[in-house]
Amino acid sequence: MYVAVKGGEKAISAAHAWLDETRRGDTTLPELSVAQIEQQMALAVDRVMAEGSCHDRFLAALAIKQAKGDLIEAAFLLRAYRTTLPRFGASAPLETSRMRLRRRISATYKDLPGGQVLGPTFDYTHRLLDFALAAEGREMPAAPQAPADMGDVPRVTEILAREGLMQREPMTKGEPGDLTREPLSFPASRPVRLQNLARGDEGFLLALGYSTQRGYGNAHPFVGEIRVGHIGVEITPPELGFAIDIGDIGITECQMVNQFKGSRTEPAQFTRGYGLVFGHGERRAMAMALVDRGLRARELGEEADAPAQQEEFVLYHSDNIEATGFVEHLKLPHYVDFQSELENLRTIRSTAQGEQHEAAE
């Protein structure tokens, strides 16, 4: 328990003034603009949008600036801001086969319709610090271009599904559960789990996904496909009565292909773990897909004894804003609580001492 205490206003306002000063840093250096963060810290912006669960590049960049680059604090700011806005409705589900792709790779097929497109990737870089970036005002050569086919690219999972080797996803009508409206309850439906994972902490998802590869969950995943790009979002405003496209968002999708040994009703086949996130976030989408597959263990009749298969454990601890709130609340004054603990400890001590005296006499 913590108690609201009066006082400290002067100290708090001085602390915040110093925070503002440290945020700005050395004033002989130019101040970062929000547009610079949005453009040049693009992957940090993507992560904040994903964990803040709100796609708005400018707001995410502003949050990063305000948070001095603390991305969890920034996601917190974005989540708090979104609560001030009304909800106009929900979009039509994204049809990711219609994405405009920047990147699309498959680790299961070398040759596939649409090909392997690397896009702007860190893969195959040598991970050596590039000191040339420390010099400002370098000429930036334009990226090469080649003749392009702009048609839709089918999903890899569809190729396997047509052969009957990939489990089809059920498609039920009805509204998916929404964590922003109803609290979690168990067992959680797959749509609710996916919403939870899509905004979960990247580090937490990564560690859990990694654990399934290391034997805690018996996963043998293949990257069926990763696709990164942009897609138009469609809504049907009631006053119009037909679908309209409201603009593009960036997304990353990962289809993880996993073996399934079959059950009484289903033959042995591949099953999917699915990751979908705002922005360019491959690590995040892959980790989400691994954990999604882990959480499907029970419904697929598999043993569910590894951490990544424990629905309550995973879903209750994935959200870094909830987690940071509860961990960091320990900083708030717990004076009364602690006084009672102190009293308690003194009583135990004195009782024990009294008993020792009696025993000695």
Partner 1 sequence: MTQTDTPSSHAARQKWMSILARASAEELSAALAALPHLPEAEILRAPETGLVMVRGRAGGDGDAFNLGEMTVTRCALRLGAHIGHAYVAGRDHAKARLAALLDAALQDSALYPACMQAVIEPLAAAQQEARAAEARKAAATRVDFFTMATMR
Which residue in this structure is represented by tokens 């509860």?
326
Stretch that binds partner 1, among 23-31, 151-159, 324-332, 336-344 (CB under 8 A): 151-159
Total binding residues toward partner 1, as defined by CB under 8 A: 83
Q: With binding defined as CB under 8 A, does residue 147 bind partner 1?
A: yes
Residue 51 makes CB contacts below 8 A (sequence gap 6+) with 71, 72, 75, 199, 200, 201, 202, 320, 321
Three state DSSP letters for 271-288: EEEEEEEECCCHHHHHHH
Site for partner 1 in 72-91 (CB under 8 A): 82, 85-91
Site for partner 1 in 273-332 (CB under 8 A): 274, 276-278
Q: How far is CA 7 from the centre of its chain?
A: 38
Residue with Cβ nearer partner 1 (3 or 35): 35
Residue with Cβ nearer partner 1 (102 or 334): 102
Tell me the Ramachandran region of residue 279: left when phi exceeds 0, alpha when psi lies from -120 to 50, beta otherwise.
left
Among 8, 25, 113, 115, binds partner 1 (CB under 8 A): 115
Query: For 199, what's the count of Cα atoms within 13 Å in the CB-facing half-sphere?
Result: 23
Q: Are 204 and 80 in contact (CB under 8 A)?
A: no
Distance from C-alpha of 209 to C-alpha of 309, rounded to nearest angstrom: 10
Name the minimum Å distance from CB 341 to partner 1. Answer: 41
Name the minimum Å distance from CB 231 to partner 1. Answer: 9
Distance from C-alpha of 167 to C-alpha of 118, rounded to nearest angstrom: 28
Stretch that binds partner 1, among 36-44, 212-220, 238-246, 305-313 (CB under 8 A): 238-246
Beta-ladder partners of 271: 258
Residue with Cβ nearer partner 1 (39 or 339): 39
User: What mask, x for binding partner 1 by CB under 8 A, covers residues 194 to 213?
Assistant: xx--xx--------------
Q: With binding defined as CB under 8 A, does residue 123 bind partner 1?
A: no
Find, among 318, 320, 229, the residue nearest to 278 by Cα: 229
According to DSSP, residue 59 is labeled H
Among 220, 247, 265, 331, binds partner 1 (CB under 8 A): 247
The DSSP code sequence of 326-355 is HHHGGGS--HHHHHHHHHHHHHHHHHHHHH
Site for partner 1 in 252-271 (CB under 8 A): 253, 255
Q: With binding defined as CB under 8 A, does residue 35 bind partner 1?
A: no
Stretch that binds partner 1, among 29-37, 172-180, 206-214, 350-358 (CB under 8 A): 172-180
Residue with Cβ nearer partner 1 (40 or 180): 180
- Residue 267 CB neighbour total at 10 angstroms: 11
- Residue 358 CB neighbour total at 10 angstroms: 8
Distance from C-alpha of 302 to C-alpha of 312, rounded to nearest angstrom: 17
Among 23, 102, 317, 334, binds partner 1 (CB under 8 A): 102
Q: With binding defined as CB under 8 A, does residue 248 bind partner 1?
A: yes
Q: With binding defined as CB under 8 A, does residue 36 bind partner 1?
A: no
Residue 105 makes CB contacts below 8 A (sequence gap 6+) with 116, 117, 118, 223, 225, 226
Among 128, 133, 135, 150, binds partner 1 (CB under 8 A): 150
Stretch that binds partner 1, among 8-16, 23-31, 126-134, 187-195 (CB under 8 A): 187-195
Name the minimum Å distance from CB 291 to partner 1. Answer: 13
